[in-house]
Structure 1
Amino acid sequence: MSKTERQSIYAEVTSRIIAELEEGRLPWVQPWDATSCPCTMPQNAVTGRRYSGINILILWATVIERGFTRQRWLTYRQAEAVGGHVRKGEKGTIICYADRFIPKAEEERAGQEDREARTIAFLKRFTVFNVDQCEGLSGDLTQLPEMPEPLVSIAEADSVIQRSGADIRIGGDKAYYAPAGDYVAVPPQAAFHDPINWFRTVFHELGHWTGHGSRLARDQSGSFGSALYAREELVAEMASAFTCASLGIVPTVRHSDYIGSWLAVLREDDRAIFKAASAASKAADYLLNREGVVS
């Protein structure tokens, strides 16, 4: 993909996210209607692999906007390969895959100069279709996933928290992560009007916790009100949303008062939401992998 095409993707997606925020809506927190579409992570219908990073936000938004009933997606060729097809006239959804690679020439030069090879970023576009846009697919590709009962979701959430090994101190009237002491503080569950919000809050703070230097090593040195601080809050918000959705818990907003600072960050850097969503996916996977929820 050319540099111009990459810039176009960054600009298109960022503009869409900015428009949502300007309307007071958070792309990772939507009024999910469980009777229309279960709140789960989007996944490839054929491989079962879950989408990550910015693609989660893109696909969630598309499900809501177009009224799809499932969070399952596949490419045009995949639909044909399994004996089905995309209905004529259906419009696909563009997602992207970002990574880095080392050109062979650079690898050779680095070896000769006894230094680390420099990587080059690349971005690919893919067009996917929701299974609702297809015909002829087998039932196992289109069936709705079995959603856990609320008590089961809470039990799994509690297990994820316990298995994280994080130092969680319950008490007081504020929730926060203390990087210097590497601990999470959270009020008791009785302080929350809705008990499930205690888990959502803990997952937000554990999102910060994953960024410690001994774990995912994100830059958490930003002071309150700074762009760096806003970026870290954005990561924690989405990490909580991704973790909740993976457990069948509907994500809700914690820090809507940061919308202004998030808008400033996104307007300044059209790659910021990509970076934050990628970091949030890694944070959620870090927590869930400890429990075995994500393979």
Structure 2
Amino acid sequence: MNKTQEKIKKERQNLTNQIIENLEKEGSIWKKGWNSELLTPYNPTNGTNYKGYNRVKLMMAAEDCRSTDPRWMTYKQAQEKGWQVKKGSKGVSCEYWKFEKEVKEKDSEGNEIIKKEKLKIPFGNSFTLFNGTDIDGIPELAKRECVESSELRFINDTLIKSSECEINEMATNRAFYRPSEDKIYIPLRDSFKKPQEFTATLIHEMAHSTGHGSRLNREKGKSFGDELYAKEELRAELSSVFTQNSLNLELDTTIDNHSAYIKSWIQVLKNDPNEISRAATDAEKISDRLIINYRETEKEKIQELIGNPLKKDPFRGLVIRHHYSEASSELGIEDNTTLRGYRAYKYLEKVIALDKKIYLQNNSQDSKDSFYKTKFSFKLGEYEKDNNEAVRYDLGSGEFGSHTKVSSAIKFRFNEHLEALNNQKEYWSSKYNISDIEFDKELQNMESDIEKMVKNLESKELKNQKQKQPKTLGKIIYPNKSKSREKNIDLEL
């Protein structure tokens, strides 16, 4: 182990000891009276937000030195801005990990290209950051305005609508996520002492729901207090804090500080000082997922309030869950990503285009066949190919690429699935213990559902086409304003 690795190990152990001390004394990771401004440590010289382990470490460091400034930078960065680190200031050591390296290669035409290649062993390094309170010459910190309680109703409704699983608000005395049903149960919001307690509890349970096998796929544990259960709760607690901060809310931790529960956290951290780093990394992924879904839904709700028909998403109601693809980089999307409305439709258009491109390459001279396993879930209105029956296909097979419209590609692929079922009628009838007549009837129902869904999608395509057409008056052409918006959305994907 080199000196850098030894330093990283020692720093992780120190932070773990500090968190354990807080748990033993305060009954929580965070001390009371937390300053919400410190929850998003960032670098004012380049706009970088510190994530994961570094985020937690800087938050704790700011609390320890009673700082009210979330800004952090290196000595050199401060100097380059004409600022000066005060003499005697103590910096905080943070981590940087490199997981890929750039490799130069030549393409089929002999042109030099640069590709990224995963390192067999990640490379770790450390750097030191100084807080804004220790910097002379730095501009005054702009005051952060938090969301008022009057806005919480909109936030809560938007969070619920953005959820990837069903949320049941009901007369119960506890909140929980039930993985077997993939549902959240939460007490009525009026039963909470403060409005934000409901919001914090809701976010905490939504964080748990991201662990579902079709999403971020985490193990929760079998019983209260066991190791996996404690690890999952640690992730939910961290991600709840991160998410509340991203929504500009004052921090409210509603975690159940049962002594046995705190004891299990302490034991997990004592067993492995690296656990806080893994938990913080997972918490960032959870929070990012919740915020992305929230922002998408927020746009829809704002458009509804405005009531402008030109700005309504023609593909509203279409939901795509991209599970994985061996060509995710070409599609420009990360695994386990949910897309809604227009962005979901653009994803399907990209699937068609990329499938066609690879198919043509496979059929060109001196070319080896390349196929990229891909899987997504599909939902439109009442029709759903859910996580258990997601669409599995090979990019490069031409299944989608042979079509010009999304509706015709979807119709072909889904009906192809019915044909495959029909060809194996004997096997499926035996497996589900149903007669041939019952099996045929079920296929007919599925075919009817597909037909209705496709007609729905075709009508949305027609509506979208009409919105893109310019309005004409004599020889004067007035471009539709939504055209530039569609371009922007395409670039975002």
Per-residue deviation at 1:61? 1.8
Counterpart position of 1:113: none
Q: CA deviation at 1:278?
A: 1.2
Please tell me the residue identity of whatever aligns with 1:5: K
Equivalent residue, structure 1, for 2:265 = 262
Q: Which among 258, 273, 276 is matched to residue 273 of structure 1?
A: 276
Deviating more after overlay: 55-64 vs 81-90: 55-64
Query: What CA RMSD, in Å, does the superposition of the two structures yield over aligned residues?
Result: 2.6
Specify the code of the residue in structure 1 equivalent to 2:137: G
Q: Under a length normalisation based on structure 2, what TM-score does the superposition of the two structures give?
A: 0.52
**Conservation of the 8 A alpha-carbon contact between 1:204 and 1:237:** yes
Q: 1:282 aligns with which of 265, 282, 285?
A: 285
Determine the C-alpha separation between the residues in 2 that align with 1:42 and 1:3: 24
CA contact (8 A) 2:162 2:293 kept: yes
Q: Which moved more, 1:84-93 or 1:251-260?
A: 251-260
Contact 1:95/1:127, CA 8 A, preserved across alignment: yes
Secondary structure of the equivalent of 1:251? coil
| Deviation, structure 1 residue 50 | 1.9
8 Å CA contact 2:69, 2:132 repeated in 1: yes
Unaligned stretches of 5+ residues in structure 1: 105-115
Structure 1 residues 162, 31: closer, same or farther in 2, change over 3 A?
Answer: same
Aligned 1:19-98 pairs, distance under 5 A = 19-28=21-30, 30-33=32-35, 38=37, 40-98=39-97
Amino acid at match of 2:81: V
Distance 2:14 2:59 in 1: 16
The gaps in structure 2 that reach 5 residues or longer are: 104-116, 297-491
Is this contact kept in 1: 2:22–2:31, CA < 8 A?
no
Higher mean displacement: 49-58 or 256-265:
49-58
The whole-number CA distance in structure 1 between the counterparts of 2:122 and 2:32 is: 31
**Displacement of 1:155 after TM fit?**
3.2
Aligned-partner SS, 2:19: helix
Deviation at 1:237, TM superposition (A): 1.1
Tell me the equivalent position of 2:329: none
SS at match of 2:223: coil
Offset of residue 118 of structure 1: 6.9
Q: Is the 8 A contact 2:8 2:95 kept in 1?
A: no
After superposition, the Cα gap between the structure-2 partners of 1:39 and 1:135, relative to the gap in structure 1 and judged at 3 Å, is closer
Q: Partner of 1:174 in structure 2?
A: 174
SS of 1:43's equivalent in the other structure is coil
- Is 2:193 the counterpart of 1:193? yes
- 1:54 and 1:273 in contact (8 A); partners too: yes
Match of 1:12 among 14, 19, 26: 14
Deviation at 1:90, TM superposition (A): 1.0
Instruction: Specify the structure having the higher radius of gyration (Cα).
Output: 2
Map of 1:112 onto structure 2: none
Per-residue CA deviations over 1:73-110 (Å, capped at 9, x if unaligned) read 11111111222121111111122234534798xxxxxx
Letter in 2 for 1:48: G
Larger mean Cα displacement after TM superposition, 116-125 or 23-32 = 116-125
Count of residues paired in the alignment: 278
Q: CA deviation at 1:270?
A: 1.2
Quote the Cα distance in structure 1 between the aligned partners of 2:157 and 2:124: 37
> Does 1 or 2 have the higher relative contact order (CA < 8 Å, sep 6+)?
1
2:138 and 2:118 mapped to 1: Cα distance?
45
- Bigger fraction of residues in strand: 2
For 2:290 and 2:276, locate their aligned partners in 1 and report how far apart those are by CA, in whole Å.
Answer: 21
Tell me if structure 1 keeps the 8 A contact 2:221–2:227. Answer: no
